[in-house]
Amino acid sequence: MEHYVCEQTELEERKMYYVALEGLEIGVILVNDQIHAIENTCPHFEGPVCLGNVSERVRMRMDENRMSEGDYHSKEEVNVVCPWHGFEFDIKSGECIADPQFVLRKFNPQVKDGKVYITI
């Protein structure tokens, strides 16, 4: 069933917007001009993943000898971090960075006439 969530203009970059639909808490977030929707339940221990930080993934630069040249932030790769145990999830795929057996339940938001909808 399709549900109205909010006006597209209500979404702010990297700030969770919460909605309860069919008994589920869902976080909707705008990242790099794309809207993502995830269930507010960490698959590790059912923590409130949407209350965690949303941040750019940290990568390490390596030289030809495989020595670190320092870290950098990947603006294209954004993670949500569960506040209970620090599990990091890729916002696009929902996959846990450290252990791909853990995957967030994602929904496919649609924008129609400036309004955001989610089908459950």
pLDDT surpasses 90 at 24: yes
For 110, counting Cβ atoms within 10 Å of its Cβ (0-12 exposed, 13-18 middle, 19+ buried), the class is middle
pLDDT at 69: 66
Q: Regarding predicted confidence, which is higher, 77 or 88?
A: 88
Token pair in block for residue 56: 């750019």
Give the pLDDT mean for 22-42. 96
Q: Average pLDDT, whole number, for the chain?
A: 89
Q: Which helix (H) or strand (E) holds 35?
A: strand 34-39
Instruction: Read off φ and ψ for residue 36, nearest 5 degrees.
Output: -120, 150
Q: What are the E-state strand segments in 40-92?
A: 54-62, 68-81, 88-90
75 Rama class: left (phi>0) / alpha (psi -120 to 50) / beta: alpha
Q: Regarding predicted confidence, which is higher, 22 or 72?
A: 22
pLDDT surpasses 80 at 87: yes
Give the pLDDT mean for 54-60. 71
pLDDT at 74: 65
Q: For residue 4, how many other CB atoms are within 10 A of its CB?
A: 12
Q: Which domains does the chain show, CATH number per domain?
A: 2-119 (2.102.10.10)
Q: Using CA atoms, how far apart are residues 112 and 52, in angstroms rounded to an integer?
A: 29
Give the pLDDT mean for 82-107. 94
- The closest alpha carbon to 88, from 71, 75, 76, 100, belongs to 100
pLDDT at 64: 81
Q: For residue 70, how many other CB atoms are within 10 A of its CB?
A: 7
